C-alpha cells in the first residue's frame, strides 16, 4: 500500500492532525499555499472526485471543514478539490483543500 495519505491515516507517516471523526481526517498541508492550509480526507481510499460515488463523501468532508472554521473562528475560507493532474491533483487520494488568509499560490 503506497498511498501517502493512507499511510497518514494509519499513522505510518506523521502528520499534524487538526480534527478527526470515524471516517474523516484533517491535517496540515506540509507545503502550505495559504496562511491556513488544511487537507481534509476520507479515511478510506478514494482516488479522486472523478471516481464513481465519490460525490457521496464530499458532504462529510465539507461538514468537517465547517466545524474547523467554527472552532477556529474563521469566517472566510476557500474549499477546493483538484481533479486530475491537469486540475492540480498531486496525490491520488481524494482531498479537500481548506484555505484561509492570504493564498500565495493556487494549490
Which listed residue (18, 82, 93, 95) binds a second copy by CB under 8 A? 82
Choosing from 37, 93, 95, 97, the catalytic residue is 95
Instruction: Please report, in angstroms and rounded to a whole number, the separation of the first and last CA atoms in the chain.
Output: 25
95 has catalytic annotation: yes
Give the binding range for a second copy (CB under 8 A) out of 1-9, 18-26, 35-43, 80-88: 80-88
Could you give phi then psi for residue 29, rounded to 5 degrees?
Answer: -70, 130
Contacts of 23 (CB under 8 A, 6+ apart): 42, 43, 44, 57, 60
Which listed residue (15, 37, 69, 93) binds a second copy by CB under 8 A? 69
Write out the catalytic residue numbers: 95
Amino acid at each position: 500500500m503506497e498511498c501517502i495519505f493512507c499511510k497518514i491515516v494509519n499513522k505510518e507517516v506523521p502528520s499534524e492532525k487538526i480534527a478527526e471523526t470515524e471516517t474523516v481526517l484533517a491535517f496540515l498541508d506540509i507545503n502550505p499555499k495559504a496562511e491556513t492550509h488544511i487537507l481534509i480526507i476520507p479515511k478510506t481510499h478514494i482516488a479522486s472526485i472523478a471516481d464513481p460515488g465519490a460525490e457521496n463523501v464530499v458532504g462529510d468532508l465539507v461538514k468537517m471543514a465547517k466545524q474547523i472554521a467554527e472552532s477556529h473562528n474563521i469566517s472566510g475560507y476557500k474549499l477546493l478539490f483538484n481533479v486530475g493532474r491537469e486540475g492540480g491533483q498531486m496525490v491520488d487520494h481524494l482531498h479537500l483543500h481548506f484555505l484561509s488568509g492570504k493564498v500565495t499560490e493556487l494549490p
